[in-house]
Structure 1
Amino acid sequence: MKSKEKRSGTFKKLFLLSIQQPWFITVFIIIIFLQVFLTVYLPILIGRAVDFGLEGGRTSNLLLILLQMAIIVFANTLLQWLSPILANRMVYKMVSELRQGIFEKIHHLPLGYLDRQSLGDLVARISSDSEQLINGLLMVFNQFFLGVLTIFFMMFTMANLDMIMMLLVVSLTPLSLFLARFIAKKSYHYYREQTQARGEQVSLLEESISQLGLVQAFNAQDQFANHFKTVNGDYARYSQAAIFASSTVNPTTRFINALIYALLAGLGALRIMQGTFTVGSLTTFLNYASQYSKPFNDISSVMSELQSAIACADRLFAISDQDSIYEESLEAFRAEEVLGKIDFKNVSFSYQADKPLIQDLNLSVPAGSKVAIVGPTGAGKSTLINLIMRFYPVNKGEILLDDQPITAYSRDSLRKLIGMVLQETWLKSATIHDNIAYGYPNATRELVIEAAKAANADFFIRQLPHGYDTYLADAGDSLSQGQRQLLAIARIFVKIPSILILDEATSSIDTRTELLIQEAFEKLMRGRTSFVIAHRLSTIQSADIILVMVDGKIVEQGNHAQLMQAKGFYYQMQQSQFAS
């Protein structure tokens, strides 16, 4: 029942998307109606022509019928050329807007949701699944609508010509549709499994190729190959099952339609012998029988293909149905008025409900303080920063900036106050200038150069083929990790933030360059609230406040001298690091 409701909901969403193009839909429906009318009317003219020939009627009447047939064939050909063009434009525009909406949606989803998703699977949904949806929708517009209208028009026309023959055709032909529907229900399950397996396959490919150096360094090629063999086998098995199920539709329905055609021809011949039917009428009905069965075959094929499209649409709508990070009429922080005092009041947070991390945290950071956060891996250091940035909502308590809850202000204005450099650097496929000015696209070349000089990146940038106009087609993979990090640091100097966050910002830089950058950071942090996460304790001894975190709790707090005198956890970390 849930699966049926889900499919129904997916159909409704696709319908709402399609009617957003009313002009295209209206013209398309008019063309389809005209096309069906001409298709249905042509066999009537063929029957009349046959009867005129057998009865020896006037040649002028026969020529008039042939002329009408020629006009209908030409007009129908023109409409058959136009309708797919309109359908293609509608479908590609519809799916393009859906894909664009989902891409934008991803950038407004909570990080907690994205953390649970595979990168490769998300890419597969936007690329492969949307392409499969296009194929299914094209079949719906090009074959399904035309087929359904053809069936109803032919039923009406056949009823006007002969009720007995019409009942024979109408009563037997739907057998193929019922059979197709039965097969389609089976194939939907396989197509859904196929799309999920494809997403897992793409995810594994992305993971293994992006980390190829690491895979080779640990001789894990066979491990990945075996894993891919399993995933690839699952994908092949589900694909084969889905294709086999869908491929049985056409042969089965064609066999049923051939039997119907033979029964119709036999009954028509008997009635002609009895004098209750004409050869022209039988010719018309045999044409109808052939054409009446074709829409059922088309609908059968569409229903099979549609199952794959619906399964893909389910996965796309699963993203678009997620709740976005939405803020309504929140105030904005004014950078010139922000002092930088930050308070944590009874803050509790966990990534998973059954695994508590930070509990009842109370902390007060005076404005302009340099705060260092140290502790073992997994202690919650980066989590503390994520909460300040509002990447995740706190489970309990509140965080205040200048005695105001940060939730009372927009995320956008909060993040504009904060400059952040992470240990893992990210560059985009663009010029050096654009990467440094990322987030500030209107930054002048002079400002970008000054920022690069402050980050000690100007020297190596000028050695590149085109300097600041060098295009990083590989998103910076051709640069060393240290150079990438210098560019990320330079971003901070483009627009000086009110609050500074450094998460192992100099971990990939040589010692000499690190000392120069530390000097630049010291100047930058002077008078500004700053948070520094560091594993090298020698770099944070000048901090005003050092927070020692263990298992999500601040176990020690003070400056370097106070903590060393206390001879607690911080003292032990210092001793072990300098001893090593």
Structure 2
Amino acid sequence: MEQTQSNKTGKAFDSDVLKRLFVFVRPYSKIFYFLIILTFGSAVLGTIRPFLIQYTVDEYILPGNMVGLNQMFIWLGVLLVAHTLVSYLHTYYAGWLGQNVVRDIRVKLYRHILKLRLKFYDRTPIGTLVTRNVSDVETLSDVFSEGLAAMIGDVLQLVFILGYMLYLDWKLTLVSLCTFPLLFVSTYVFKEKVKKSFQEVRTAVASLNSFVQEHITGMSIVQIFNNEEREYKKFTEINKTHTEANIRSVLYYSIYFPVAEVIGAAGTGLLVWYGAKGVIDHEVTLGTLIAFIMYIAMFFRPIRQIADRFNTLQLGVVSTERILKLLDSNELISDSGTFKPETIKGDVKFDNVWFAYNDEEYVLKGISFKVKSGQTVALVGATGAGKTSIINLLSRFYEINKGTISIDGHDLKEYDLDELRRHIGLVLQDVFLFSGTIADNISLGNKAITEAQMWEAADLVGARKFIERLPGGLHYNVMERGATLSVGQRQLISFVRAMVYDPKIIILDEATSSVDSETEELIRFAIEKLMQGRTSIVIAHRLSTIQRADKIIVMERGEIKETGTHDELLKLNGYYAQLHQMQYKNVLDV
């Protein structure tokens, strides 16, 4: 998917894309219109100077009129200061507008990303989203500072230059521009070549982002399987593609600009030859020839720049199309519910629920069960049985295909999404901690949660001692993904986090298999505290930890095979009894 998008070149003046892009400019419309005025003013002031010099030479220098000459020098000085001031304002406000638009787009894009379903992330590389939110958005600032505004200024400058030249002498104008077709052709070829190489660069950048992010995240797997050399070779190949694309663009620049200089010099040479002949024959004034030499230099410069700016604009349009495609994604979590209860009891009901991640293969088939307020239900089954899918659906990370899920008799879709999740606590086996302090990871930026509440929650789940032993306590920096903490410590922090938010329904991916016995006891204690007085749904990995559950649901291949208490299921002598016997046998063998 990324490759297809990256190779798309787009149209520099795609009206639909530009129209939608300028929606983000609307809040800054006054600055935008002021920028247009500055663009027009810069074009006028930048091109009138040779005209005034022509007038000065012919009317004051050649006749020897020093008074008039002094006056013209004053006017030329005023013109130069005015042009400098206008150029400064134009450059500043073009950059200011670009950065503010980029900020707004990035904020809107990130807010949109936050609301996308997890299904979207299942099939979209993280590096691609990083590219969209960073590189593609940053490209848009160039559209305003170096692309559109500057390109309009260049075109206006060309129009004024051509107008002045035709006004002064149409014959000299034709001679001056006789090499223009060669420049136009070379510019077009250059534009097309560079456009293609820039697209290749952006494709390689997206690939680099995805590869680096993915492999740094999974570095432990790379190292444990001694895969460093193979991954290094893969990275080298991607980086080589990136380098080659950049070198190709450098090659095109290194060819085009000398060629453009030669063409411009040839045009200037023809102008001087023909103009000098005209001066000698008294058909052309010296001032006119000087003005034309200045104009021809000014004329060829924006022609060369327009090719570059055109590519900048095209890349901006491509980036805009990618960003708009992401913003137009309809894979948002439906949040049309309006029910906002102050509190809930915690009665949970699944009624004939069917669910598939890819809309083809159902991973849950006709799931029905009830959990009364305050009860504990354990989900048991082999990997892939559908246990995690059940907790994902209860939290509305995914939408069900058929059936209903309700809390306290209200369909999940009736609830305001924020309110629904406020009453559900989720503690996963693989605890994710953000870079920052322990306090940051417990409160998740919620200013209403005080440190006193954090310590109280830590006391309740037995995590205070280990937090106090850390340098800084709650202000200890856990680094990215909690790399400086053990598995058990990260798990305890997640319990504290769940406790301070005080949910009425707690979902636990019960995991104690990868911790030492002392930490395991702490986690068991934390789990018991967390479940007290709450509706609890537990994914059970060790059957010994769920024997006191009010209900045990045994799952296999997305279906419920058995339901009952621990003793009831043992008496059935079915799947649960076999599983229990296998785990008990393993314990005895140890």
Matched pairs, number? 579
Distance 2:449 2:81 in 1: 61
Counterparts in 2 of 1:289-438, with a 5 A limit? 289-323=296-330, 325=332, 330-336=337-343, 338-438=344-444
Distance 1:159 1:381 in 2: 80
Matched residue type, 1:365:
V
Deviation at 1:487, TM superposition (A): 0.6
Matched residue type, 2:448:
N
Taking a change above 3 Å as real, the CA distance of residues 543 and 116 of structure 1, as seen in their structure-2 partners, is: same
Distance 1:7 1:366 in 2: 61
Q: Work out which of the residue numbers 263, 268, 276 in structure 1 matches 2:283.
A: 276
Matched residue type, 2:169:
D
Distance 2:134 2:152 in 1: 27
Distance 2:253 2:312 in 1: 7
Q: Work out which of the residue numbers 513, 531, 534 in structure 1 matches 2:537.
A: 531
TM-score by length of 1: 0.92
Distance 1:212 1:407 in 2: 40
> Which secondary structure does the structure 2 equivalent of 1:428 belong to?
coil
Q: Judge conservation of contact 1:249–1:300 (CA < 8 Å) in 2.
A: no
Task: Report the equivalent of 2:93.
Answer: 86
Distance 2:452 2:279 in 1: 94
Given the alignment of the two structures, is residue 99 of structure 1 paired with residue 106 of structure 2, yes or no?
yes
Counterparts in 2 of 1:154-553, with a 5 A limit? 154-169=161-176, 173=180, 176-323=183-330, 325=332, 330-336=337-343, 338-438=344-444, 440-474=446-480, 476-553=482-559
Given the alignment of the two structures, is residue 576 of structure 1 paired with residue 588 of structure 2, yes or no?
no
Counterparts in 2 of 1:39-50, with a 5 A limit? 39-50=46-57
Taking a change above 3 Å as real, the CA distance of residues 312 and 242 of structure 1, as seen in their structure-2 partners, is: farther
Distance 1:544 1:435 in 2: 32
Distance 1:271 1:315 in 2: 56
Matched residue type, 2:418:
D
In the alignment, structure 1 segments of 5+ residues that lack a partner are: none
Deviation at 1:141, TM superposition (A): 5.5
Taking a change above 3 Å as real, the CA distance of residues 257 and 456 of structure 1, as seen in their structure-2 partners, is: same
Task: Report the equivalent of 1:558.
Answer: 564
Deviates more, 1:339-348 or 1:101-110: 339-348
Distance 2:349 2:32 in 1: 57
> Which secondary structure does the structure 1 equivalent of 2:553 belong to?
strand
Q: Judge conservation of contact 2:423–2:504 (CA < 8 Å) in 1.
A: yes
**What does the per-residue CA deviation read over 1:457-497, in whole Å, with 9 as the maximum and x for residues that have no partner?**
10011112222233435453212121111111111221321
Measured on the aligned residues, the alpha-carbon RMSD in Å equals 2.7
**What does the per-residue CA deviation read over 1:308-352, in whole Å, with 9 as the maximum and x for residues that have no partner?**
44444444333323236365662234143x232222233221111
Deviation at 1:26, TM superposition (A): 2.6
> Which secondary structure does the structure 1 equivalent of 2:79 belong to?
helix
Given the alignment of the two structures, is residue 108 of structure 1 paired with residue 112 of structure 2, yes or no?
no
Distance 1:241 1:567 in 2: 71
Taking a change above 3 Å as real, the CA distance of residues 29 and 54 of structure 1, as seen in their structure-2 partners, is: same
**What does the per-residue CA deviation read over 1:119-167, in whole Å, with 9 as the maximum and x for residues that have no partner?**
2332233333434443454212663232111011222222322233335
Q: Judge conservation of contact 1:342–1:400 (CA < 8 Å) in 2.
A: yes
Matched residue type, 1:300:
A
Task: Report the equivalent of 1:148.
Answer: 155
Taking a change above 3 Å as real, the CA distance of residues 365 and 245 of structure 1, as seen in their structure-2 partners, is: farther
**What does the per-residue CA deviation read over 1:483-526, in whole Å, with 9 as the maximum and x for residues that have no partner?**
11111111122132111100135454433443344345335434
Distance 2:13 2:397 in 1: 33
Task: Report the equivalent of 1:12.
Answer: 19
Q: Judge conservation of contact 2:350–2:404 (CA < 8 Å) in 1.
A: yes
Q: Judge conservation of contact 2:9–2:199 (CA < 8 Å) in 1.
A: no
Deviates more, 1:171-180 or 1:137-146: 171-180
Deviation at 1:291, TM superposition (A): 0.7
Matched residue type, 2:545:
T
Distance 2:573 2:188 in 1: 76
Matched residue type, 1:261:
T
Distance 1:553 1:7 in 2: 55
Taking a change above 3 Å as real, the CA distance of residues 537 and 174 of structure 1, as seen in their structure-2 partners, is: farther
Task: Report the equivalent of 2:4.
Answer: none
Deviates more, 1:384-393 or 1:175-184: 175-184
Q: Judge conservation of contact 1:133–1:309 (CA < 8 Å) in 2.
A: yes
Matched residue type, 2:351:
K
Matched residue type, 2:219:
L
> Which secondary structure does the structure 1 equivalent of 2:351 belong to?
strand
Matched residue type, 1:482:
G
Distance 1:304 1:2 in 2: 13
Q: Judge conservation of contact 1:249–1:301 (CA < 8 Å) in 2.
A: no
Deviates more, 1:512-521 or 1:528-537: 512-521
Distance 1:357 1:328 in 2: 24
Distance 2:181 2:358 in 1: 53
Q: Judge conservation of contact 1:456–1:513 (CA < 8 Å) in 2.
A: no
Matched residue type, 1:489:
F
Q: Judge conservation of contact 2:201–2:246 (CA < 8 Å) in 1.
A: yes
Taking a change above 3 Å as real, the CA distance of residues 69 and 212 of structure 1, as seen in their structure-2 partners, is: same
Deviates more, 1:350-359 or 1:510-519: 510-519
Counterparts in 2 of 1:50-69, with a 5 A limit? 50-52=57-59, 55-69=62-76
Distance 1:15 1:445 in 2: 45
Task: Report the equivalent of 2:3.
Answer: none
Taking a change above 3 Å as real, the CA distance of residues 407 and 20 of structure 1, as seen in their structure-2 partners, is: same
Q: Judge conservation of contact 2:60–2:68 (CA < 8 Å) in 1.
A: no
Taking a change above 3 Å as real, the CA distance of residues 332 and 172 of structure 1, as seen in their structure-2 partners, is: farther
Distance 1:5 1:51 in 2: 47
Q: Judge conservation of contact 1:358–1:553 (CA < 8 Å) in 2.
A: yes
Q: Judge conservation of contact 1:371–1:547 (CA < 8 Å) in 2.
A: yes
Deviates more, 1:551-560 or 1:384-393: 551-560
Distance 1:6 1:116 in 2: 30
Deviation at 1:92, TM superposition (A): 1.5
Matched residue type, 2:576:
Y
**What does the per-residue CA deviation read over 1:223-268, in whole Å, with 9 as the maximum and x for residues that have no partner?**
2112212222222233333443455443333333333323333333
